[in-house]
């Protein structure tokens, strides 16, 4: 598939990963805008700065919140309300989508260290725990593709040692990095990570640890903070071109891309599950998925099919 088509499809489906606009909800209340989500409790010690929203549901206890500074316009704390409940549901959907992704060729890293290695775009798997040792660096190489996706599925725990870090190179973006953790994640002192960390249980950030482009999302357990900085990130969307060069698209791909362009341009709202799918597939995978709708596109019922996917 051409780079142009791949970028067009991703731009049409999700201008920002996970940033679909939901009926009755503002864009500021989409999962991509949440820096911290917990299903149990949030505990903070010391001055913590968060750029993004915070959600807690169904738990109700947020201690140390007076020392948390919310940075950025419109950001808010949602405690056990309708918004928090919806965000928790979206988190569960994303978690399950990531868990279902097949591992890339040579992507099984079970028993290997995360540190002092470079990963290219793909889906990686640790059958049990994953460890980024203290002082070591994990480099994520986008290969010149700003849409490069990095998914690391971890069976049990994720541990980032003190002063460890994640570095992005060659146009890799933190918004396209996902760590799905089967139990709990611990980010130790002064570690500097990027990406969305989704843990089934708890996430602990020790003193002065940072997530400078990403989020800490604990599906069922607690989030523990201690003088941290967490900042969500926004990806630059590729411009959608509805008039590609002749012969660049197959008939099915052209039909799908055109229908998506028209649907979004007319104010159509994509279901949460559809936007999550777009955010967690490569361009080729997404094109193959969307091409399955080509029959519905031809009969003009694609919007109905899209809405039924929610």
User: Helix/strand/coil (H, E, C) string of the chain?
Assistant: CCHHHHHHHHHHHCCCCCCCCCCCCCHHHCHHHEEEEECCEEEEECCEEEECEEEECCCCEEECHHHEEEECCCCCEEECCHHHHHHHHHHHHHHHHHHCCCCCCCCECCCCCCCCEEEECEEEEECCCEEECCCCEEEEECCCCCCCCEEEEECCCEEECCCCEEEEECCCCHHHEEEEECCCEEECCCCEEEEEEEECCCEEECCCCEEEEEEEEECCCCEEEECCEEECCCCCCCCCCCCCCCCCCCHHHHHHHHHHHHHHHCCCCCCHHHHHHHHCCCHHHHHHHHHCCHHHHHCCCHHHHHHHCC
Mean pLDDT of all residues in 226-240: 75
Taking each helix axis as running N to C, give the angle between helix 251-265 and helix 283-291, from 0 to 180 degrees, rounded to the nearest 10. 90
Q: 305 and 289 in contact (C-beta within 8 Å)?
A: no
Sign of the dihedral defined by the CA atoms of residues 75, 80, 82, 86, in that order: positive
Q: Can you give the pLDDT at residue 30?
A: 85
Query: For residue 250, what pLDDT is reported?
Result: 63
Asked if the model's pLDDT at residue 300 lies above 60, the reply is no
Q: Which residues does residue 108 pair with via DSSP β-bridges, in sequence order?
A: 125
Across the chain, mean pLDDT equals: 82
Predicted confidence at residue 238, as pLDDT, reads 44
Question: CA-CA distance, 60 to 80, in Å (whole number)?
Answer: 6
- CB atoms near residue 199 (< 10 Å): 28
* Predicted local confidence at residue 266, as pLDDT: 74
Asked whether residue 213 carries a pLDDT value surpassing 90, the answer given is yes
Determine the average pLDDT of the residues in 169-173.
96
């Amino acid at each position: 598939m051409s780079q142009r088509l791949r970028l067009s499809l991703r731009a049409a489906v999700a201008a920002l990963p996970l940033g679909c606009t939901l009926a009755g909800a503002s864009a500021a209340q989409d999962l991509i805008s949440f820096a911290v989500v917990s299903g149990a409790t949030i505990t903070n010690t010391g001055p913590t700065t968060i750029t993004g929203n915070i959600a807690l549901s169904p738990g109700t206890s947020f201690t140390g919140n007076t020392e948390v500074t919310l940075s950025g316009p419109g950001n808010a704390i949602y405690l056990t309300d309708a918004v928090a409940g919806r965000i928790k549901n979206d988190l569960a959907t994303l978690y399950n989508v990531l868990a279902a992704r097949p591992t890339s060729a040579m992507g099984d890293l079970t028993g290997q260290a995360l540190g002092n290695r470079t990963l290219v775009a793909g889906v990686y798997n640790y059958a049990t725990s994953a460890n980024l040792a203290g002082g070591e660096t994990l480099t994520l190489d986008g290969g010149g593709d700003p849409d490069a996706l990095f998914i690391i599925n971890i069976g049990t725990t994720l541990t980032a040692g003190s002063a460890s870090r994640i570095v992005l190179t060659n146009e890799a973006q933190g918004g396209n990095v996902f760590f799905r953790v089967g139990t709990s994640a611990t980010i130790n002192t002064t570690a500097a990570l990027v990406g969305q960390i989704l843990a089934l249980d708890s996430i602990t950030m020790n003193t002065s640890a940072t997530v400078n482009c990403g989020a800490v999302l604990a599906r069922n357990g607690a989030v523990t903070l201690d003088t941290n900085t967490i900042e969500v990130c926004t990806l630059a969307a590729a411009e959608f071109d509805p008039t590609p060069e002749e012969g660049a698209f197959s008939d099915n791909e052209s039909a799908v891309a055109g229908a998506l362009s028209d649907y979004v341009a007319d104010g159509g709202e994509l279901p949460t599950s559809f936007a999550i799918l777009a955010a967690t597939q490569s361009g080729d995978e997404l094109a193959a998925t969307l091409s399955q709708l080509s029959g519905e596109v031809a009969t003009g019922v694609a919007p109905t099919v899209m809405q039924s996917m929610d």
